[in-house]
Chains A and B, each alone.
Chain A
Amino acid sequence: MKKEWPLWEVFVRSKNGLEHRHFGSLHAADADMALVNARDVYTRRSEGVSIWVVESKHIKASNPEHNGELFEPAQDKVYRHPTFYDLPDEIKHM
């Protein structure tokens, strides 16, 4: 038969209060196996309290070649930052 097991991306929450973070990827036949494998590959030393796995093919990633169109428009919008606004020196905490 010779079918390669699909690739999965693994996200781990290292402790409650923190978000899941991308840890790496692995191969597994299905989602249950991907979870079990993720536990063995990425949390051998209590690195996490929760794991998400998602098949890599379901991730749509932006293309770095389009970073200009995608991210540059934010650069000339300084008015989105608090330091853009002039306030009197007497105002200490705002």
Chain B
Amino acid sequence: MSEAQIKSLEEEFEARIARNEKIEPKDWMPEKYRKTHIRQMSQHAHSEIVGMLPEGNWITRAPSLRRKVALLAKVQDEAGHGLYLYSATETLGVSRDELFEQLHTGKAKYSSIFNYPTVTWADMGAIGWLVDGAAIINQVPLCGASYGPYARAMVRVCKEESFHQRQGYELILTLAKGTPEQKEMAQDALNRFWWPALMMFGPRDDDSPNTEQSMKWKLKRKTNDELRQQFIDQTVPQAELIGLTIPDPDLKWNEDKGGYDSGKINWDEFWQVVKGHGPCNKKRMNTRVAAWENGQWVRDAAIAHREKQEQRKMNKTA
């Protein structure tokens, strides 16, 4: 194809998106659109898969059967969300094995929040309430993404996500209303997860060079800072209601903007964790790679079984 032809295809493509048309897997698309989507969608899938690890830590130690079935169901949903998103990503012409390879070698990223440890049971509450709460704010706009398979996967994910946040909030509210020790535990979890949760929305708009392109492609509908503000405004009253304190001395209601002003985020910490130097980066990846490698014989055995069955069928008809 000549450059002029590609240019006119690109213009037609941008116009389709501007008209709110969806792009489907076999449609022509610019290479950059394909690559950017593979990157973002797989990063999203990886986050769901790695996101199971900090919670898996607590399943066997849940304090009641009610809490245990809820946590199990939530972790199973996360596996499901990872699978929806991986198969949506594969429609762009990349294989599941390639995606895993990118995760396991560190070439692909996942949400940094999962590189923080879960040291007490209250962390299960903080994760559901804050981490899933932030995820919902990030994800709801993506139900309108221009790439059809991604938008469809997100609709399914969002439907299931609200139970995650509600079970987390219920858990932490129960602790906050419990003994002084339990309340302290809830406050401590909030203290540790508040700032990393704010970082989940990504760097400040000034430091986010891809935002403009992503907005055009509807891979993003609001900027990082707008989403972060929405999360703060929504979460502060939820903390107050259960008697917990947001660990930010600069947090103050601003009547003029109709939202909260908040303190400075430690961006050095953010970039440290992104670059692999967070408290649990190595541990998470080791656990993930071990699970994949130790499962190899199962995957091989299943294929061998299939081949044997097919052979048997052929012998019968022969």
- A: residues with CB less than 8 A from B are 1-5, 7, 24-27, 29-30, 33, 40-41, 44-45, 61, 63-65
Contact = CB atoms under 8 A, between A and B. Distances in A.
B90 A7 contact: yes
Given A7-B90, A44-B76, A27 B305 contact: no
B26 A63 contact: yes
A40 B79 CA distance: 10
Contact of B305 (A30, A41, A65): A30
A26 B87 contact: yes
Interface stretch (B220-228, B234-242, B296-304): B296-304
A12 to B, nearest CB: 12
Contacts of A7: 87, 90
Nearest to B306: A30
A3 B305 CA distance: 13
Interface of B: 24, 26-28, 73, 76-77, 80, 83-84, 87-88, 90, 95-97, 152-153, 156, 160, 296, 299-300, 302-306, 309
A3 B26 contact: no
A64 B24 contact: yes
A25 B160 contact: no
Contact of A65 (B28, B152, B156, B306): B28
A7 B87 CA distance: 9
Contacts of A25: 87, 90
B302 A64 contact: no
Contacts of A30: 302, 305-306, 309
Contacts, number: 56
Contacts of A3: 299-300, 303
Contacts of B296: 2
A40 B96 CA distance: 19
A24 B80 CA distance: 12
B299 A5 contact: yes
Contacts of B305: 29-30
Given A25-B90, A45-B160, A61-B26, A5 B95 contact: no
Contacts of B300: 1-3
21 contacts: A2-B300, A4-B95, A4-B96, A5-B303, A24-B87, A24-B88, A24-B152, A24-B156, A26-B83, A27-B96, A29-B303, A29-B306, A30-B306, A33-B302, A40-B76, A41-B80, A44-B73, A44-B80, A45-B160, A63-B26, A64-B26
Contacts of A27: 87, 96
Nearest to A3: B303
Contact of A4 (B77, B97, B152, B156): B97
Most buried by B among A3, A29, A30: A29
A61 B83 CA distance: 23
Contact of B302 (A5, A41, A44, A45): A5
A32 B14 CA distance: 42
Nearest to B153: A24
B90 to A, nearest CB: 7
Contacts of A33: 302
A44 B26 contact: no
Contacts of A4: 95-97
Nearest to B302: A29
A80 to B, nearest CB: 25
A52 to B, nearest CB: 16
Nearest to A1: B300
Contacts of A63: 26
Contacts of B27: 64
A27 B303 CA distance: 12
Nearest to A27: B96
Given A29-B306, A30-B302, A65-B28, 20 more contacts: A2-B300, A5-B299, A5-B303, A7-B90, A24-B87, A24-B153, A27-B96, A29-B303, A30-B306, A33-B302, A40-B76, A40-B80, A41-B80, A41-B83, A44-B77, A44-B80, A61-B26, A63-B26, A64-B24, A64-B28
